[in-house]
Structure 1
Amino acid sequence: MAMASASIFSADLSTLFRPDMTSAPDKTKWSPILKPLAASTEQRARSSTARTKTARERRNSFVEKKSSSEEGARFRGVKVEEERERDRKSLRDYFVEAKDMIRSDGGPPRWFSPLECRSHSPDSPLLLFLPGMDGVGLGLITQHQRLGQIFDIWCLHIPVKDGTSFTGLVKLVERTVRSENYRLPNRPIYLVGESLGACIALAVAANNPDINLVLILANPATSFSKSQLQPLIPLLEFIPYQVPLILVSVLSLMEGDPLRMTVDKLVKGLPLQTTVGDQSRDLVTVSSYLPVITDMLPKETLRWKLEMLKSASAYANSRLHAVKAQTLILSSGKDQLLPSGEEGERLRLALPQCQIRRFNDSGHALFLLLCQEDDFDLVTVIKGAGFYRRGKYLDYVSDFIPPTPSEFKKIFKSNRWIYLATAPVMLSTSVNGKIVRGLAGIPSEGPILFVGYHMLLGLELFPLVSQFMIERNIVLRGIAHPMMFKKLKDGKLPELSQYDTYRIMGAVPVSGTNFYKLLSSKSHVLLYPGGMREALHRKGEEYKLFWPERSEFIRMAARFGAKIIPFGAVGEDDIGQVVFDYDDLMKIPYFRNEINEMTSEVINLRTDASGEVANQDVHLPGILPKVPGRFYFYFGKPIETEGRKQELRDRKKCHELYLEVKSEVENCLSYLKEKRESDPYRNLLPRLIYQATHGFTSEVPTFEL
């Protein structure tokens, strides 16, 4: 987490502005619309259709209903999401709807679009769901509500007694993919497959390397040769099938180990009653629908599907070298049906554009939430991995979907220890120059460019971004180091999955194009000119700015009339002290080699700069922790650039404003360092005593303004 924070918002100003960046961004706005249910078959292609609570209380409820239109809109949005969560379908719905589909079964394999997936925008990408061994096509039923808002979803239904071979299914999907690609060549096509469906997706991608495909594969059956299912194939010839004992065995493997999962959840602090209840409910649901499962997989069908898995695995593995599509592997850690953890890593190394996300507490049936953590959300996973796009290439600005309240709650919950330990104090400056508590002085309308000091390891990021969401419902779009989005090779640095939270919260890789698009879309942009050199500073360099000589971000801000808000953040010296810095590490051969290795894994920044600011070596300094103090943030008065576009074309005028911004950031730091001395609750113990006497939901006071 520390290294992740340190490297996230390390903006490189020399890379940020390039002379070839001239094209204006796409200004198309995304807005979900309702459209009628549309079903499709192999023969017929579809056409697209067109706040007064304490800070703690605000964190718990996320929003507060107020009279203003901004707060009212936010409240209505949360209500809509709560209603969608309540309407989210469950494992029981899967069996109920599967029963109806099996009863009316007949005809060849075909596509259908679930009713709850009817709401999406006209430019939503197409998502083709390829089912596992059950073949019903309802494997995403618990995800339909969320997926249907951003995808045009078609699900493949394979009738129970259908005898289409694996290669026949591949050809069927290929025809659909080619037809839709011909109709909308710039729209990506997502192939989401689980188990058998993952093999189909890999085969289609291998046979169509020139089509714009994105693969999302859950527990691929490419490892079938190592599966516990393989011995069942010869046994099915001799075992009577009046009682579905084999199915019970298969289901127990799909569910994972309920007892072990219950213990794991208890270790995580989840209530026993809730934990046991969830596990029991799923087991009872499965057992009560055994007749449906028997109808879904009668003896002959089960044997046919197992034989198909064997051939599918061999077919897909023989063509892995031809797969060029962007691929996301979802691996369950407790999959007792297939060795999915081991297989996911093998595929990640074998495929050129592949990432992996691991779900250590999940069994084989990842999408159905079967005996696993019930907060799995495929949309959040796709967003976090940076895999959602509407065009041929990912646009970090126009393809961004802001975090929902539930997504933010999960992120806040997993990082709340930073917030609780530092009890951040936020100060802002109103239009008349008066310093006020909170973020009331921050303009709601963008574009706004926040320019500030990068604390040690970027520790200020989570409290800063969180408070903007909690208090103002503003998403800060951070200009970030490219190491968060791409690694040049495997090595010492954390996996890209460690940065999923930052991508969900709106971080974009540093580039002039992204900066241009953010300002043109009137975003609230977060920029740290000091970058990694400032976040990984040396001993005795607390609150010292390491800014480059070039001042181009001023011109870009003036081009769009953006308000520049300088800000300071202090408190790192109350959290830890650097005792072993970069200079010390470079004197030791082992650590010097480690630093060189880590630095070689990421894209080099500021290659044309000189001096201290050009040192972008990746390393982790030795830090001596302290009893946590408090974080303080002060946002200065906005500096207007509107109407100064011509004036700031002059290099001298531009540099003068650059120095003014830098000076204001230093003034903010000086103000906070002085004022925090009079804060009676600067240290942790007084804060704990205050909350113990006033309630742990109370907001801890600070110094007088």
Structure 2
Amino acid sequence: MAENGACLFPPVFSLARHRRTEASDTAGSSHKSRLSSLSTRRFAQLSSAAETATTFPSSRPVSFGENRRSPEKHGEKASDQGLSSPFMEDVELESGRQRLRRFFDEAKDLTRADGGPPRWFSPLDCGFRLEKSPLLLYLPGIDGTGAGLTSQYKKLGKIFDIWCLHIPVMDRTSFLDLVKMVERMIKAETCRSPNRPIYLVGESLGGCLALAVAARNPNIDLLLILANPATSFDKSQIQLLLPLLELMPEQLQLSYPFILSLMGGDPSRMFKASTEKGLPPQQTVGELSMDLLIMPSYISVLAGILPKETLLWKLQMLESASAYANSRIHAVKAETLLLTSGKDQLLPSLAEGGRLDDALQRSDLRKFDDCGHFLFLEEGFDLVTIIKGARFYRRGKSHDYVLDYLPPTPAEYKKQYESNRWFNEITGPVVLSTLEDGRIVRGLDGIPSEGPVLYVGYHMLWGLELAPLVTGFMNQRNILLRGIAHPIILEKYKKGQPLDSASYDTHRLMGAAPVSGTNLFKLLSSKSHVLLYPGGMREALHRKGEEYKLFWPEEPEFVRMAARFGAKIVPFGTVREDDFGEVFFDYNDQMKIPYFRDQIRQRTEDLAKVRANATGQVANQDLHTPWIRPKIPGRFYYRFGKPIETAGRKQELSDREISHELYLQVKSEVEGCLAYLREKRESDPYRSIFSRLMYRATHGSTSEVPTFEP
């Protein structure tokens, strides 16, 4: 996807683009001299609340669109990953200690010349971003600096227009006035760009602020990302600290080491992350020891950010903010992504996440069991990857599975690949393809390089062939397969559904789109490589004795669409997975038992249906779970047939009979691939997992295990 849009703000604090009233000029002059001395290395502009209180078109801190520039005009090259690579540009993630250091560096810069009312600033190191990127407003936690997203800037800045709220140390603006300030900003931007969504990213106190703003503005297109929101303050142990803090002298404040220890994260988790990077034990221990020496130096910075009076004020504000947000949760209509930590020692966030997920109308929950309260500072936490996996990114009124899709970065793909590597090792995939001259070769040399290409095949039991298939295309040919999937995989906001939405984040990250003519049209028109299973769920959840049997619809659903764009059709078959286990309690058995029958009907009714107007066996898309008797894992075999050209045949294939003939040809080719593989696998000397393990033991763990001659 091309990143051909850019918006880089100059490192000055000029307010020339603002039409201010005389009153707002007067309000801002008292602290303008202090602002000019602020470091300009990181921030584009700080604008006060008074400056954002003008008329809608001119109330924004900087004119977002007018300051956009083309990188080509400045001798810079905009990344265009969508054309030359299946990946987005990678951004190296900082370690936990680097994140903490950057946070305190930026917090010091922001508070060095502090004073005046709350204001917005934009970080400069976000770089160039996608065209028409949505606005992201960061609402800080109890620290109020607005620096909590520092470790996420570079990745977020590629896809968002970022502005952060800064609340000066000695400011005593009430929670309700903060709500009104954010309201002025979102109303101004909505007036200016009514079709652009606005993201509110709030952590702790900022989470309450985001919920309050959303509840008061149900007709504005808001998307909320809440990290450990403080709506559970009434159940927190923090309240017990209030009387103690009031009595404790400023010099003996014991809360700072406690807060600092929470910000530093779990040392055991940091040690695990270091070892996973392959660092020697001596270096890992040395770095952790260095942290113990450096951490105390941050206490003075923390004391400057949260002196006793400010800390007491913020804790009291948390109490009112929590009560205000909770009283209005029923009015929140915005899409909401909840991020909760399992080791939050400040708030009972894990339990609160479940409560909010039930209370909110359109919410999606992600849990991080090993993380603490300050989620954005945690080692390895990547907000952009989470947004991608949750399908929570859009640039218009509704999500577009093609235009809004953000491909994985190399690091994101590597993480997904490594998590499934064990399955590839067990199944030892053999991949065959067919060249133009009809020769069958091992590997994917016979696969077209340029799209659009439509891969049409047989769905094995539970669809377990997908992981080796998708990673094989990426590793061997650098091709990202966009799968056409059942809507159940991509469903969100279905309360009480039996499936965990987070379990399908990998499918969303790798580009799966719900099965529909519209999505197939868009994918082929964008020259994508599209993976299609005409048999769908009926094949993937087949019954006893139905191994390698195709359940395709009668109508040639995909042929005319492929011809419209001149897409190549590649038939393929996969075998062996059915031998991975034996179905012994299938759909027919379950429908005979009232308990299972009621479950199947309820699940099918609650979740999205496809092919509601189809006839025959393929129309039966009832959601059920076949019971499997496991077997010793065998080997997976894939064969891709010779590509079938449709270019120049659009008019010809508009004829129903001719298109049906091609449809039957594709189906016959798939059946031929299955028959070929079932026969040839019998001659594979390394079909057994034990023989493959022995081969690897004698030839090296990275050596390719041989197979039959094609």
- The TM-score with structure 2 as length reference comes to 0.87
Shift of 1:273: 6.6
Match of 1:365 in 2: 374
Cα separation, 1, equivalents of 2:482 and 2:276: 35
Match of 2:103 in 1: 94
Q: 1:521 aligns with which of 516, 523, 526?
A: 526
- Asked whether 1:292 is paired with 2:301, we answer yes
Return the letter of the residue paired with 1:478: G
Match of 2:315 in 1: 306
Match of 2:144 in 1: 135
Match of 2:258 in 1: 249
Return the letter of the residue paired with 1:576: G
Q: 1:560 to 1:260 in 2, by over 3 A?
A: closer
Return the letter of the residue paired with 2:371: S
**For residues 424-503 of structure 1, what are the structure 2 equivalents within 5 Å?**
424-486=429-491, 489-491=494-496, 493-503=498-508
Match of 1:35 in 2: 8
Return the letter of the residue paired with 1:296: I
Return the letter of the residue paired with 1:308: M
Shift of 1:677: 1.4
- The TM-score with structure 1 as length reference comes to 0.88
Match of 1:21 in 2: none
Cα separation, 2, equivalents of 1:331 and 1:356: 8
Three-state SS of the structure 2 residue aligned to 1:541 is: coil
- Asked whether 1:511 is paired with 2:516, we answer yes
Q: 2:168 aligns with which of 156, 159, 162?
A: 159
1:628-653 CA distance string (max 9 Å, x none) = 11111111111111111111111111
Cα separation, 2, equivalents of 1:271 and 1:358: 31
Shift of 1:189: 0.7
Match of 2:676 in 1: 671
Cα separation, 2, equivalents of 1:116 and 1:382: 20
Contact 2:482–2:510 (Cα < 8 Å) also in 1: yes
Gapped runs of 5+ residues in structure 1? 1-27, 51-68
Match of 1:172 in 2: 181
Shift of 1:617: 1.2
Return the letter of the residue paired with 2:433: S
1:346-390 CA distance string (max 9 Å, x none) = 111111111110000000000011xxxx22110000011110001
Return the letter of the residue paired with 1:375: G
Judge which range, 375-384 or 89-98, deviates more.
Answer: 89-98
Shift of 1:269: 12
Match of 2:585 in 1: 580
Contact 2:94–2:151 (Cα < 8 Å) also in 1: no
Contact 2:103–2:147 (Cα < 8 Å) also in 1: yes
Q: 1:315 aligns with which of 324, 328, 331?
A: 324
Gapped runs of 5+ residues in structure 2? 11-43, 52-58, 69-79
Three-state SS of the structure 1 residue aligned to 2:499 is: coil
Q: 1:396 to 1:271 in 2, by over 3 A?
A: farther
Shift of 1:594: 2.5
Shift of 1:615: 1.3
1:64-103 CA distance string (max 9 Å, x none) = xxxxx9999659x79x636676999521111122122222
Match of 1:186 in 2: 195
- Identify which of structures 1 and 2 has the higher relative contact order when contacts are C-alpha pairs closer than 8 Å and 6+ apart: 1
Three-state SS of the structure 2 residue aligned to 1:205 is: helix
Shift of 1:576: 1.3
Shift of 1:256: 6.3
Three-state SS of the structure 2 residue aligned to 1:355 is: strand
Return the letter of the residue paired with 1:629: G
Match of 2:355 in 1: 346
Three-state SS of the structure 2 residue aligned to 1:443 is: coil
Judge which range, 668-677 or 329-338, deviates more.
Answer: 668-677
Match of 1:20 in 2: none
Contact 2:563–2:653 (Cα < 8 Å) also in 1: yes
Cα separation, 1, equivalents of 2:651 and 2:236: 68
Question: How many residues are treated as equivalent by the alignment?
Answer: 654
Q: 1:703 to 1:582 in 2, by over 3 A?
A: same
Match of 1:647 in 2: 652
Shift of 1:491: 3.7
Contact 1:261–1:361 (Cα < 8 Å) also in 2: no
Match of 2:38 in 1: none
Cα separation, 2, equivalents of 1:144 and 1:267: 24
- Asked whether 1:207 is paired with 2:216, we answer yes
Shift of 1:255: 5.5
Return the letter of the residue paired with 2:335: Q
Q: 1:272 to 1:342 in 2, by over 3 A?
A: farther
Q: 1:626 to 1:34 in 2, by over 3 A?
A: same
Cα separation, 2, equivalents of 1:348 and 1:213: 17
Q: 1:70 to 1:599 in 2, by over 3 A?
A: closer
Cα separation, 2, equivalents of 1:376 and 1:113: 22
Cα separation, 1, equivalents of 2:95 and 2:310: 35
1:540-583 CA distance string (max 9 Å, x none) = 21111010101121111111111100000111133111122111
Return the letter of the residue paired with 1:31: N
Return the letter of the residue paired with 2:697: A
Three-state SS of the structure 1 residue aligned to 2:164 is: strand
Match of 2:39 in 1: none
- Asked whether 1:115 is paired with 2:88, we answer no
Match of 2:661 in 1: 656
